[in-house]
Every structure is written in C-alpha cells, then in structure tokens.
Amino acid sequence: MLTKNLKNIKLTDNVFAPRQAVAVTSTLPACIHQCEITGRIDAFKLNWKEGDPNKPHIFWDSDVAKVIEGLAQLLMIHPNEALAKKLDDIVELIISAQQENGFLNSYFTQFEQGKQWDVLGGNHVLYCAGHLMEAAVAYYELTGKRNFLDAMARYADHIASVFGPEEGKHKGYPGHEEIELALVKMYRTTGEKRFLDLAKHFVDVRGTEPNFFETVEQIPRERLIILQAHKPAREQTEADGHAVRALYLYCAMADIAIETGDQELLANVYKIFDNATQKRMYITGGVGTSGNGERFTYDYDLPNPDAYTESCAAIALCMFAKRLLEHTNDSKYAEVLERVLYNNGISGISVNGDDFIYNNYLEVRKERNIQRTKWIGCACCPTNYSRYIPQLGMYCYSENNTMLRIDVPAAAVISNDSYEVAISGGYPYEGNVAVDIVRGGTFTLALRIPAWCKNYTLKLNGETQNVKTEKGYWILNRTWQPGDKITLDLEITTTVVYANPMINADIGKAAIQRGAIVYCLESVDNESVPLPTVRINPDAEFKLSAVEGLPEGTVALRFMAEAADAREDLYSTEPLTWHPVELCAIPFALWQNRGISDMQVYSAVKQ
Amino acid sequence: MLTKNLKNIKLTDNVFAPRQAVAVTSTLPACIHQCEITGRIDAFKLNWKEGDPNKPHIFWDSDVAKVIEGLAQLLMIHPNEALAKKLDDIVELIISAQQENGFLNSYFTQFEQGKQWDVLGGNHVLYCAGHLMEAAVAYYELTGKRNFLDAMARYADHIASVFGPEEGKHKGYPGHEEIELALVKMYRTTGEKRFLDLAKHFVDVRGTEPNFFETVEQIPRERLIILQAHKPAREQTEADGHAVRALYLYCAMADIAIETGDQELLANVYKIFDNATQKRMYITGGVGTSGNGERFTYDYDLPNPDAYTESCAAIALCMFAKRLLEHTNDSKYAEVLERVLYNNGISGISVNGDDFIYNNYLEVRKERNIQRTKWIGCACCPTNYSRYIPQLGMYCYSENNTMLRIDVPAAAVISNDSYEVAISGGYPYEGNVAVDIVRGGTFTLALRIPAWCKNYTLKLNGETQNVKTEKGYWILNRTWQPGDKITLDLEITTTVVYANPMINADIGKAAIQRGAIVYCLESVDNESVPLPTVRINPDAEFKLSAVEGLPEGTVALRFMAEAADAREDLYSTEPLTWHPVELCAIPFALWQNRGISDMQVYSAVKQ
C-alpha cells in the first residue's frame, strides 16, 4: 500500500478519471486558494500579530498538510509545472517553521507556548504532526527530495523524546488519532524502526488504566468512548466513538499488527472491521451515525435524515478496508471498498470538484436548506478530498512487479517495470471489462468477481473459463504475452435492496442498487411526485436512461412505481391508497449537483 | 378558563385521579424538596456569597413559581395543611425579595445589577416575571389573599414603566415568551386593563422592523425564528421555532385576540393551530421535532427516534388547545387536547409521580440508556408537571353556573352553585360513560362525541336519542332534575393508524391506537422479539389484557403479528421473510415505568 505506486495507475474510466481531471483544474487549486486566503499557509510564517486577520487555529496545519499531500499525489499522475512550483514553495515555508528541537506547529509555536502537550484530548497537536508526516512522505515519493521527510523525522524524534513507555516520559496520547498511521508510513518510507515503535507505543498505551484522559485531563468517563479511550485500544473489538478518529486508529492498529506479526491485535482489528461494516454502515458506505460526537453509536442505528456520515469517515473507511484487503487478498474487503468508492466516497464533493459537503445524509428535504459550499470552516472534508481523489487509482488496483490485483475494474492503464496492462470497458455502469496485456511479463493477475454479480462470463483469449475463485478473485499466475486478453462480462441488474430488519429506520422500505451503484431519488427529476409518498415495486422494470445536468455516461433509471394519494388527515385508520407514477433515480454519489432538491435513498416498498 | 374553578372539578377516574393523588404525596413534595436542596428557594433570600454552593441562575425563579402555582392549584382539590403552610412560607419569602421599584428577580437583584433588560433574548427575566404572576394568581384564587397578587401587580407596573410603545421606552420584548399570557391572567383576575395593554404591546412589537433582536442584541437573522421574532408575531401563521416559547406566545395571542375582539389576529391564531396539529404533531400529541433549538421544524418532519418533543411543549399545546376550545366550543380542539392528555401529556412523568423525562421519543433502543430521573438541571419539565397535573380536571371539563361542557369524560364530580353532576365509567379504557345529575338546575350540558368513535348510543333517562351534534357536541339546555341520567356508550375499537404519507419516517409503518390511547411496544413485555423487526397486521385481533407493573385498570393489548427472520447480511436483495410472534402493547404514556426497555410506537405494517 505504497502511494508512490500511484504513478503506475492511470485511470481512464468515466467516474473517477474525470474527478482527477477536475482535481487539477479545480479541487486542488481551490483548496490551496482557500488555505491561502484563510491564513492557513501564512500561519507557518509565525508572524501573526494581535489585530491581524486570520488568527491561526490549532488544527490548521493539518489542512495544509492534507492539501499538499494530495497535491504531491496528484502530480504523480498529472504532472503540472505551476502546481509543482506551488508545492515546493509551501513545503519550504513549512520547513522554515520548524523549531530547533524539531517541534513544528504553527499554532503552538506562536501561542500558548510550551503548552502543546497539556490538553491532548482536544488540542490536535499530534494529529497535525501526523498529517505533516504523511505530507512529507508523499512529497518524498513524488520528488525524491528528503528535505521535508528529514524535517518530519526530526519532529518524530522530538515527539519520541517526550512520549514513551520509559519512566519520566509523558504518558498521554493523541485525542485525535492520526500520528500512529503516519509514523508507520514514516517507518515504511525510511526503514527506521523507531517510528514504528512510537506508533506502537501510542496504540499500546491508549485506554489503559489509570486512564490518562480521565485522570489527567478530567474527561468524563462517558466521553472517553468518543476518543476510543474507554478501554485499552488493543482490546477493542467494536467500532466506537468519533468515526474518523476511530478509523484512523484502526488503520494504525492494522498496520502495526501486520508489521509486527501481532495476530492477537489483528484478530481484534478484523472484529472491528466486521462490526463497522456489518452492523454500523449505511448502504452508501457512510459511517458515523450521530452528529453528537461525530460518532459510531450502536448496532443497526442507521437513521436516514440524521445520517451524520462525515465525508472524512467514508474516506477513512476506504483507508481501513484497503489495508485489510492488502493483507488478506480477500474480496470481502474489496466489497466494502467498492461500496464506499462509488457512493459515499465521492458524494461529498461535487462533480465540478470544488463544492463540498460535510454530511452525506440518506434523506433530505428542501426545507433543511442543506447545500454544498466552497469551503467549510472545519475544513477536514475538503482537504481530505484533496488527497483522496488523487489516490483513487490505488483503491481500485494493487500492483507490484509480480502481481496485479484488480479490485475495482475501472478503466485504467497499469504499468510498472514488469508489465503494462490496459483495463477498458464501461465499469461501473457497464459490465464489459476487458483486460489487455500491452507489455508482457511473469506475474500473478487476480481479478475480483463482484459479489453483487450473479451471472458472468470470463474468457481468456476468447476461451470461456470455468471460473474458480479464491476469496472472491479469479487468479492466474503465468508469463503473459502482449496481446493476451481477458474479458469479464458481468451481468449488471437493477434490484431493490432490503436493509437488515434490525434497522428500524428501513423496515418496510428498500433502496435501489445497480451493480455497485446505490441510487437515490431527487425531486429535480421527479417534480410532480412528493418523494416521501413513493412506494417502489421490486418487480418494476428499471430502464437505463440519460439525465440532464449530470456527467456524460451517467446511467439514470426510469421506472414505474406508486405514490400514496394525498390526504388531509395527519393520522388516519384508513390504509394508504396509491396511484402509479413514473420515477427517475440517479446515483446517490451525484445528488445535489443540480441545486437544492428533496432526496431519498430509501422508499417504501411493495410487499 | 379560570383555574379558580379547579376546585369544582374532582376527578375520580383511574388515569388522571391517581396522578393527582401522587402529586400530593410525591410530585409536589419532590419538586419543593428539589427547589430547596438546589438553592432555588433560598435564592430569594438574596444573600448568596462567593464560595456558597448553589449560585442562583437566571431562570430559577420560574421553577419555584411553577411549583407554587401548582401547589396552590393542587390544594384547591386536595387540601393539605402542611403543604398549605409550606406554600405560605414560600410566598412570603418571594414577596420579601421585591425591590422598592417593584422589580423582583433573585438573580438580577444579586448579580449583574441593572443589566436585567440588556440581553432579553437569553436572560429569561420577563419569563420569570410571567411565571411569578401566574403563581400569584393561583395563590390568590386558592386563598383569596391579595399580598402576592398585589406584589406582582407592582412588578407588572414596573415593567410597564420600562417597556411600551411610548417614545423613550425600551423597545425590546422577551426572548422566552410567558409574560404575555401571564399579564392577561393578571388582567382577568384584577380587571386592570393596563396589564392587558402591556401583554398586547409585547405581542404587537414582536418581530417588527427594525428587528430588535437583530439590531440591538445581534442575534443572527436565521436564529430569529427560534424566538418567533423572524416576522411580526401578528403576521405569523405557522408554528415556528422553540416549541414552548412559540406555544406560550400563541396562547397569549389567542387570549388577546379574544379579549380585544381582534378577528384578524384570531384568524392567524387558528392557522397556527392548524399548522401545528395537522402538519407538525406526533400521533402522541408531542410537538417540537428538533433538539437543535428545541423547535418546530417544517411540515411532516416527524422522525421517531429523534422526536425531541419536550414534555413542556405537550403541556403548552394543551394550554393552547384549551383556549381555542373555550372560545369556539368546537370539538376539533378537544380532539387534539385529548390526544395530548392521554399520551404525551403524561408520558414525561412516571406513575409514581417523581421521575421525569424531558423528551418523549417515539422510538428508543436500550443502548441509548435514556431514563427518567428525579430532577433535571434545566427543571422546566418537572416544574411544569407540578402545575399541569393539578390542572387536569380543567382540561377535561369546562363549567360555570349556566354550562357544563364535557370534553373528555374522565370520571369526575362537577359541582358549583347551580348544579352537581357525577360522571362515571371506565373512560378512556372503557366506553361506558354515565352522567348523573345529583343536584339539578337550569344549564346547558354539552357532551363531546369523540371523533375516533364510529358507533355509539346515547340515552337520556333510558331513552335512546337520535343524536345531532354541533361542532362535535351533543348539546341540551334544560332544567335538569336530580336523578336525570345520560348514558353514552362509545364503541372502543383497536385499530392501526397510518400517518400521512408525507411523513417519510412512517411510510410503510403504522401505530396502534385504541380509543384515545396510543400504544407502544416495550421490550420488557416482548423479550423474545427484537422490536425493530416487527410487522403488525391491521386485521389482527387485539385482545384486552392486564400487564404486570403498571397501574391497575391499565389495558394492554395482546395480539399476533410477525417478526422478520434474522439475517446476517446488512443489505440484501432477498425480501424479508417472516415468522409469527405474539406481542403485548401498552399505553405509550406508561413507557419506561419498569426500567430501561426498547420501545417503539410505529412498526412495519402488512399491506
């Protein structure tokens, strides 16, 4: 899972590749611009004075770090001189803010000096450090220049001089996890095991007794779960608390368990993943039900209009799923990954690339006046998109010189020292996947057969294969010749999907899914029908259709359904009566790209 | 609508009368005790010093005022020497806190002196004044003593010297309405029109431009709606903003419109009531959907697990409905009143009378750990029950020497100078209503025929009547003789109730109602069935049954339904499958009187 390989994966599909194209022209320039005009970049000049606008804030460094991490990764696939120059300048400025002892934080160097380790539950200082480390790794992967990486190694060493299991050292750990996974990245990039050790320390100490946050920082016991500090992190087996913090922690736990061969920890990580995705995940791949603590709550608590489902949490779930997929080669993780990628994963960013939304509700009424905005004061989501969009290829494919694993067969060209392979076809809207060996070599090719597909045909050089799968993948190791061709024809049907009946919000309802795409109804396409009153018929014929105002190639669905007859009474003993209506559904990921609309994923379903 | 008439109405039914009995032994003593131990009563000694516990809070006076208002009203129906002495003592203490100029507020006399009129949007000073006025009226009605009433008249005059339309006077108005309806009560009790004028001024000026709260107190425009200050109060036609504030305002608007014959204002008040109860009210009679601002939101926004539905808001809806019922004699208002009375109206207080809950959700899972408590820091709900429970008779009956209107025929004895009438029977659980004239006289008797009842028989002295109703009431004016008897046999059926299909939270679902009682499922009665998975059958036979741990006479319902078969998948294309289950439903008003349970009002319904 090395993002340096991003340059080997060039997406050419019609869902993700256009997002990356607008990242060059829109997303990244917009996020850099916002970081500039809000003072986030200037904060590293360390010269803010009383009376100046834009007083630096404790977590601004993380925003800049995520943007430049994303910028470095975007430049791996879309080289751009002007943006590369901008990147160098920002990196130089950041490095210039580093203190003698290695500390680097634009807020605590200027304000509350010396207090940076005092309120770890809320001050985000280690979180900012982690994001700077991730940015440094990306910058090094892009440029080969060690300046930023070395600076961050010094910062990590400084942190290691403060925190650790040794007597006399600070026994705290971050309130917002992030540095743990970043330290593993530092270790993987530099080979310096001390970074892995520090990451492991932060995980090992988390939630142990006497509880640091409770006893030192006076955080009430019932709030500890929000910080994943209610019990030892190593003993946790459910997805709990603030969703983004939780998932960043689980990523680190997975990384550390894998790097150290810690099977006990890994077993718990698997349990957490299962809990998160089999009990606490929306059909869209969204997680983090409640806005009160931005958190996971309890099993099957998945209300639709109140789905908090922060965009960052979906991104973090991709990060987590990818790690376990890499380690296991089990398509169970790719199934979740794909669900997020095509649904909640891109619903928080507009098609034009510079309108963002924090929450990915599954039901919205116009009256709530929820709309995308150019920036968000708490800018974690826009800045996470800055790096997630460039990384999309890495979430679809895994490659090295001896292996190509096709997890999500979005059209792309994969090339490395050993081979070049072109994947084409209209996935995810069409099921015609072709894999052409452009430049041959000896390597293992693994091709996922999506679990949602019941009928498919796989041919190798025109010959239909009797497919046996291993953990959901068709796998063939051989010396591939240029001109070798695999075709996978997946039957993509449109079906209604029923939620587990323990989800009371959805009982009596169903969603519509076609292949990997979850659909929604928007009132802009269905102006004559009050959406709440809709009842869908599982046997309806769903006709593929184009729709205005959405990207070319988008497949909308037109179908007959029913709507309840209007009535005056708020409550009545009379059963609802129905009349036929024609509806148009669009991919959930594309909601609210045409102004404010009513929207819903679930509708009543005919039984 | 004079609460002094409370003494004329003695409830003897098995729902409300027991609540009043425990009010004597439990609710009122508990609330007085809590006011004592939290310092709320001592606050009126005006001798708090730095270092003392229980620093007075800006809205504590309102809590004490509501408790003594309720205590005075309770003593009208349940005389009690010890409680009467306690009442006198508290009243004396309160009066002793009055300042030379008439001002009386335990917080602003001791703290932030002279700043009481500076932050009206949030400081609750006029709200506290209003509750003290209501308490003074109740104390006068009980005792005939003018001391408290006169003190509050001087306070009202002081307020009138500060606020008013005259040049140079303060142009503000309360952020939390209450004083408006209290001033009307002061007017009705004393006959002093200047109190009505001040009430009218506060309504007339509210929300007018230039907007006081926006321009003087810098409240953002989008927040003005929470205070009903987003447009002139007189022009409002929908139920908006903080539900309790809103409903207290609407009560005052109704009072003022009726007192002044202002038909234009009255027309808007009717529209507001219709909007509140035909678009924004839960089946339980709860209102105020959202916890964000404790507020009404928009039409048909009625989610179940997130139903904020503050207990005070249900009480305030009773107050509003009662006023319009008094003015119109239209049972449309009694229908709403009855819905609240038997459901959300008493669900916030435990059967034992001293455990309270702020929110009356329509769906709860154990994991939320929601439970009743002995007191609530923001004590508006317990203290509102202190006065609501004693007032229940007034919400069932309206009487004066020439009229007896039976709105809700809970068993009772009604007596005044003209007549004595005994109402008996098992209402609301049984439909056998008997009205016996004990002491005769010439008066109009109006008897509501509940809208939920499709079949009934009304007999006068044994003779079946061919019933004609006026606005939902059977009305007879005559000279009644002792021994005259009316019997009304109402057929009470159990039915499933469908919400308006615009309520997306409920589409595909139904609730169970029997007569006036809305039922819920609690897991304590249905331990083998995961409640979210239940599907009810509209054609089920609902058998009346007793249930352990609830008050004698409570009618539970036992019936066959289905539950979805358990499944592992979170999302599946396979339709749910079902197995039969026997369920037990109890009145929603009695939920969580037996510990923490899963609970739901709505379940999926077989179509």
Tell me: do A87 and A129 sit in the same domain.
yes
Tell me: do B221 and B352 sit in the same domain.
yes
Tell me: do A595 and A467 sit in the same domain.
no
Cα(B563)–Cα(B579) distance, rounded to whole angstroms? Answer: 6
Taking the CA of residue B472 and the nearest CA in chain A, the distance in Å comes to 17
Find the residue in A nearest to B567 (Cα). Answer: A500
Is the Cβ–Cβ distance between B173 and B163 less than 8 Å? yes
Catalytic positions of A, written as ranges: 294, 380
CATH number at residue A203: 1.50.10
Burial class (CB within 10 angstroms; exposed 0-12, middle 13-18, buried 19+) of B140? buried
- The label of the residue with tokens 């500039």 reads A36
Tell me: do B592 and B453 sit in the same domain.
no
Tell me: do A461 and A565 sit in the same domain.
no
Q: What is the dihedral of CA B292, B293, B299, B303, to 10 degrees?
A: 40
The pLDDT of residue A327? 97
Cα(A254)–Cα(A261) distance, rounded to whole angstroms? Answer: 10
Tell me: do A484 and A514 sit in the same domain.
no
User: Can you tell me the mean pLDDT for B267-285?
Assistant: 98
Is residue B3 over pLDDT 90?
Answer: no
**Nearest alpha carbon to residue A306 among A378, A242, A241, A362:** A362
- The label of the residue with tokens 């503050």 reads B310
State whether residue A500 sits within 8 Å of chain B by CB. yes
Instruction: Give the bridge partners for B464, in sequence order.
Output: B459
User: Coil, helix or strand for A497?
Assistant: strand
The pLDDT of residue B420? 97
User: Residue B2: pLDDT band by 50, 70, 90 thresholds?
Assistant: low
Q: Among B294, B338, B363, B562, which one carries the catalytic annotation?
A: B294
The pLDDT of residue B19? 98
The pLDDT of residue A145? 98
Say which DSSP state B222 is in. Answer: G
pLDDT digit string, tens, across residues B348-387: 999 999 999 999 999 999 999 999 999 998 999 999 999 9
Residues 508-567 of chain A with CB under 8 A from chain B are 508-509, 511, 513, 530-533, 535, 538, 563-567
pLDDT digit string, tens, across residues A361-398: 999 999 999 999 999 989 999 999 999 999 999 999 99
Is residue A606 over pLDDT 80?
Answer: yes
Q: What is the biggest distance separating any 2 CA atoms in chain B, rounded to whole angstroms? A: 77
Cα(B325)–Cα(B336) distance, rounded to whole angstroms? Answer: 10
Say which DSSP state A164 is in. Answer: S
- Between vectors from CA B49 to CA B43 and to CA B51, what angle results, nearest 5°? 115
> In the Cβ-directed half-sphere of B213, how many Cα atoms lie within 13 Å?
26
Find the residue in A nearest to B277 (Cα). Answer: A570
CATH number at residue B480: 2.60.40.1180
- Cβ atoms within 10 Å of A53's Cβ, excluding its own: 9
State whether residue A126 sits within 8 Å of chain B by CB. no
Tell me: do B134 and B154 sit in the same domain.
yes
User: Residue A2: pLDDT band by 50, 70, 90 thresholds?
Assistant: low
Beta strands in A377-493 (DSSP E): 397-400, 403-406, 412-415, 420-424, 432-439, 441-448, 456-460, 463-464, 473-480, 485-490
Find the residue in B nearest to A602 (Cα). Answer: B504
pLDDT digit string, tens, across residues B218-252: 999 999 999 999 999 999 999 999 999 999 999 99
Q: What is the dihedral of CA A55, A58, A59, A65, to 10 degrees?
A: 80
Both tokens of B480, joined, read 């009644």
> In the Cβ-directed half-sphere of A228, how many Cα atoms lie within 13 Å?
33
- Cβ atoms within 10 Å of A585's Cβ, excluding its own: 30
Which helix (H) or strand (E) segment is B179 a member of? helix B179-190
Backbone angles phi, psi at B423, to 5 degrees: -105, 130
User: Can you tell me the mean pLDDT for B73-82?
Assistant: 97
Quote the radius of gyration of chain B (alpha carbons, Å).
24
Q: What is the dihedral of CA A250, A256, A257, A258, to 10 degrees?
A: 110
Instruction: Give the bridge partners for A398, in sequence order.
Output: A405
Instruction: Name the packing angle between helices B125-143 and B147-162 (round to 10°).
Output: 150
pLDDT digit string, tens, across residues A40-79: 999 999 999 999 999 999 999 999 999 999 999 999 999 9
Find the residue in A nearest to B301 (Cα). Answer: A365
State whether residue A300 sits within 8 Å of chain B by CB. yes
**Nearest alpha carbon to residue B243 among B302, B189, B314:** B314
Tell me: do B480 and B535 sit in the same domain.
no
Taking the CA of residue A15 and the nearest CA in chain B, the distance in Å comes to 24
Tell me, yes or no, if B381 is annotated catalytic.
no
The pLDDT of residue A1? 52
State whether residue A327 sits within 8 Å of chain B by CB. no
* DSSP-derived pairing of the beta strands B603-605 and B534-536: parallel
Cα(A594)–Cα(A597) distance, rounded to whole angstroms? Answer: 8
Q: Which residue, B443, B468, B490, sits at the end of a domain? A: B490
User: Residue A259: pLDDT band by 50, 70, 90 thresholds?
Assistant: very high
Instruction: Give the bridge partners for A492, in sequence order.
Output: none
Burial class (CB within 10 angstroms; exposed 0-12, middle 13-18, buried 19+) of B66? buried
pTM over 0.90: yes
Both tokens of B200, joined, read 């009218």
* A338: Cα separation from own chain's centroid: 11
CATH number at residue B189: 1.50.10.10
Is residue B1 over pLDDT 80?
Answer: no
- The label of the residue with tokens 């305030």 reads B316
- The label of the residue with tokens 């309802």 reads A509
Tell me: do A297 and A330 sit in the same domain.
yes
User: Coil, helix or strand for A296?
Assistant: strand
Among residues of chain A, what percentage have pLDDT more than 90?
A: 99
Taking the CA of residue A509 and the nearest CA in chain B, the distance in Å comes to 7
Tell me: do A87 and A171 sit in the same domain.
yes
Is the Cβ–Cβ distance between A438 and A426 less than 8 Å? no
pLDDT digit string, tens, across residues A169-190: 999 999 999 999 999 999 999 9
Tell me: do A149 and A245 sit in the same domain.
yes
DSSP of A192-260: -HHHHHHHHHHHHHTTPSSPHHHHTS---GGGGGGGT-SS-GGG--S--EEHHHHHHHHHHHHHHHHHH
Q: Which residue, A432, A459, A490, sits at the end of a domain? A: A490
Total domain count for chain A? 3
- How many residue pairs from chains A and B have C-beta atoms closer than 8 A? 152
Taking the CA of residue B122 and the nearest CA in chain A, the distance in Å comes to 24
Is the Cβ–Cβ distance between B361 and B370 less than 8 Å? yes
Taking the CA of residue A561 and the nearest CA in chain B, the distance in Å comes to 15
State whether residue A278 sits within 8 Å of chain B by CB. yes
Domain around A508: 495-605
* Average pLDDT of the residues of chain A: 97
pLDDT digit string, tens, across residues A394-403: 999 999 999 9
Cβ contact, residue pair B573, A498, below 8 Å: yes
Long-range contacts of residues B84-88, Cβ cutoff 8 Å, at least 24 apart: B86/B32, B87/B139, B87/B142
User: Residue A191: pLDDT band by 50, 70, 90 thresholds?
Assistant: very high
Is residue A39 over pLDDT 90?
Answer: yes
Q: Which residue, A490, A513, A533, sits at the end of a domain? A: A490
Of B279, B300, B603, the CB nearest to A532: B300
Cβ contact, residue pair A532, B502, below 8 Å: yes
Query: Residues for chain B: how many in total?
Result: 607
Tell me, yes or no, if B380 is annotated catalytic.
yes
User: Can you tell me the mean pLDDT for A547-574?
Assistant: 97
Of A533, A575, A606, the CB nearest to B538: A575
Backbone angles phi, psi at B434, to 5 degrees: -120, 135
pLDDT digit string, tens, across residues A261-288: 999 999 999 999 999 999 999 999 999 9
User: Can you tell me the mean pLDDT for B542-554?
Assistant: 96
pLDDT digit string, tens, across residues A214-228: 999 999 999 999 999
Cα(A177)–Cα(A251) distance, rounded to whole angstroms? Answer: 10
| Separate counts of helices (H) and strands (E) for chain A | 17, 24
The pLDDT of residue B607? 84
pLDDT digit string, tens, across residues B105-163: 999 999 999 999 999 999 999 999 999 999 999 999 999 999 999 999 999 999 999 99
User: Can you tell me the mean pLDDT for B451-478?
Assistant: 97
Is the Cβ–Cβ distance between A209 and A163 less than 8 Å? no
Q: Among B35, B318, B380, B584, which one carries the catalytic annotation?
A: B380
Instruction: Give the bridge partners for A543, in sequence order.
Output: A558
Cα(A388)–Cα(A287) distance, rounded to whole angstroms? Answer: 17
Which helix (H) or strand (E) segment is B131 a member of? helix B125-143
- Cβ atoms within 10 Å of B158's Cβ, excluding its own: 18
- The label of the residue with tokens 């009066």 reads B95
Cα(B252)–Cα(B260) distance, rounded to whole angstroms? Answer: 12
Tell me: do B279 and B356 sit in the same domain.
yes
Both tokens of B554, joined, read 């409570």
- Between vectors from CA B282 to CA B280 and to CA B590, what angle results, nearest 5°? 155
Cβ contact, residue pair B508, A604, below 8 Å: yes
Find the residue in A nearest to B577 (Cα). Answer: A501
Both tokens of A203, joined, read 């995980």
- Cβ atoms within 10 Å of A165's Cβ, excluding its own: 11
User: Coil, helix or strand for A581?
Assistant: strand
The pLDDT of residue A57? 96
Residue to test with chain B: of A565, A573, A601, most B Cβ within 10 A: A573
- Between vectors from CA A374 to CA A369 and to CA A379, what angle results, nearest 5°? 100
